[in-house]
Structure 1
Amino acid sequence: MPILTELNLYPVKSCAGIALREAVVTPAGLMVEQIYDREWMVVDLSGNFMTQREYPRMALIVPRIKADTLELRAPGMLRLEVPLGLPAPEDERTLEVRVWGETIRAYDCDETTATWFSNFLGTPCRLVRFHADAKRTASAEWTGDTEAPTLFSDGFPMLVISQESLDDLNGKLQAQGRQKLPMNRFRPNIVISGAGAFEEDHAEHIRIGDALLKPVKPCARCGIPSIDQASGEAGADPLDVMQTYRTNARVGGGVAFGMNTILLEGEGQVLRIGQEVDVRIAF
């Protein structure tokens, strides 16, 4: 039977992730220590979201959740501590920010934090946090009758990939004399092993313990898989190989790898590395 082999939380959108041994699953995605996936985001001075697509050095910003702060480290920078507690209503500063055309209310972090990010990324920017009163949901075109909340993700609360899918791609890359890619190039939240290559594409449901997940939309890929997550530098783009066998009409002929996924049952359940995973194929 397949097993759960990776759980990854990305506290700051497009920055490095945190590999977890266990995490709470919620309708809005994975959570640990009351911190959600993509709860923070870097924006330009117009409030538009910033990602590794344009700023690959974001991969080098490494978060760690401590008792009462989100610690951020980056090469050549002093350690930054961002408070985990929300500001009192009378003290909060807010911004209207944008993710793929959606406008969302967010807490604006302080000037020290803005300067830290601006200096490291080499452009004026700010760090924002999803507001407690904000609401954002995944597209009902894909989720149907299930309302799936999400924070600053590109559109869905969780991304699931099987190890065998990556193995299949790496086999094709190696056949052309190219290097294998690590899973972190594709930034999944959940990785399963033993399911068979691209079995997640055809899954009606994925059950992990008492949590029932539903893959709803193939993840159309941009150029981020070409960015080395350890160096923050762009390298050979695997999309040319992926285009030969991973184009998907469901996402307008884009190259798909991994499945955007929502939670149907089991809110608050703890997922743990090593758990058995039941992948139910849709017939």
Structure 2
Amino acid sequence: MHVSGLFIYPVKSCRGIALTTTSLDTLGLTGDRRFLIVDADGKFITQRTHLALIPITTALDSTHLTLTHPKLPALRVPLTASTNASTNTTPPALISVTVWGTTGLQAEDCGPAANAWISEALGQHARLVRIGPAFHRPVGDLGDATGFADGYPLLVISEASLANLNDRLIERGDEPVPMDRFRPNLVISGSDAFAEDTWPRLRVGEATFRSAGPCARCTVTTTDQLTGERTPEPLRTLATYRRDPLKKSNVNFGQNLINETKSATLHLGDTVTPLA
């Protein structure tokens, strides 16, 4: 088995970036979900309720996040705040934000220009915030942490699992769906369908990961990531054979991961080895 896809999503619920190589840090893949859009109350905004996020594309260089939108000029936002005392730079304002049930997360406001841009793109008052030194969001009970992801640092899906789903969709007379509907970080080739469900731990290249359980899917999977069109599939078909045996309201596809290795480089083609 090997890695056939590497993806990060710099701004939660905006378009992602396909990579050939990337690195791990304490929060998962470097650059993944380090920015978040929040409403006036600091509550996170996602595609579940705001399809206006879909046209926003993301790009990263060594110092900046760049956002583009069909109807707006490009926006460049520093990855980190400048705190150089010699230039009298004002420290960024801290905003208390909420991601799912986690409240009081301290994120950095990206400033008036970024907030105006995001508000215009969404058609409502909103803010762009980023992770800074004051941010801490623990996950699990072993000292691990995550960023603005739904709950865990990474998500893995095998190509065989998607092929299994698409075969079922075609049998029902529906169109197959691409992998981007599921927004994985790691895509694995060479396994059986849903083999990822059975791996308590795995090695990818020189890095090790442990399973954090299945990923319960939502309406984002039914949303075309280019057009924003929303249909019942593939969630309707997944519900016929991927319901969680312990929580029937959940429909699972893919496995959440926690990176035990906090510093490493990953590449397309890296060998994947299940571990006990």
Question: CA offsets, 1:135-161, max 9 Å, x none?
Answer: 101244xxxxx2220011111000011
- Quote the residue 1:276 is aligned against: 271
Matched, 1:86 2:87: no
Change (3 A) 1:251 1:272: farther
Matched, 1:161 2:157: yes
Cα distance between partner residues in 1 of 2:247 and 2:229: 28
Matched, 1:121 2:122: yes
SS of the residue corresponding to residue 184 of structure 1 reads: helix
- Quote the residue 1:224 is aligned against: 220
Alignment of 1:32-111 (within 5 A): 36-88=31-83, 90-103=90-103, 104-111=105-112
CA contact (8 A) 1:185 1:224 kept: yes
Structure 2: gaps of 5 or more residues:
84-88
SS of the residue corresponding to residue 225 of structure 1 reads: helix
**What percentage of aligned pairs have identical amino acids?**
38
Structure 1: gaps of 5 or more residues:
141-145
Return the offset for 1:252.
5.1
* C-alpha RMSD of the superposition: 1.5
Matched, 1:22 2:21: yes
Return the offset for 1:102.
1.3
Return the offset for 1:59.
2.1
Q: TM-score, normalised by structure 1?
A: 0.91
Cα distance between partner residues in 1 of 2:268 and 2:246: 31
Return the offset for 1:250.
4.2
- Quote the residue 1:143 is aligned against: none
Matched, 1:132 2:133: yes
- Quote the residue 2:6 is aligned against: 7
Matched, 1:151 2:155: no
CA contact (8 A) 1:47 1:96 kept: yes
Q: TM-score, normalised by structure 2?
A: 0.93
Decide which moves more: 88-97 or 67-76: 88-97
Question: CA offsets, 1:9-44, max 9 Å, x none?
Answer: 11101111111101112341101xxxx311100000
Cα distance between partner residues in 2 of 1:222 and 1:236: 11
- Quote the residue 2:86 is aligned against: none
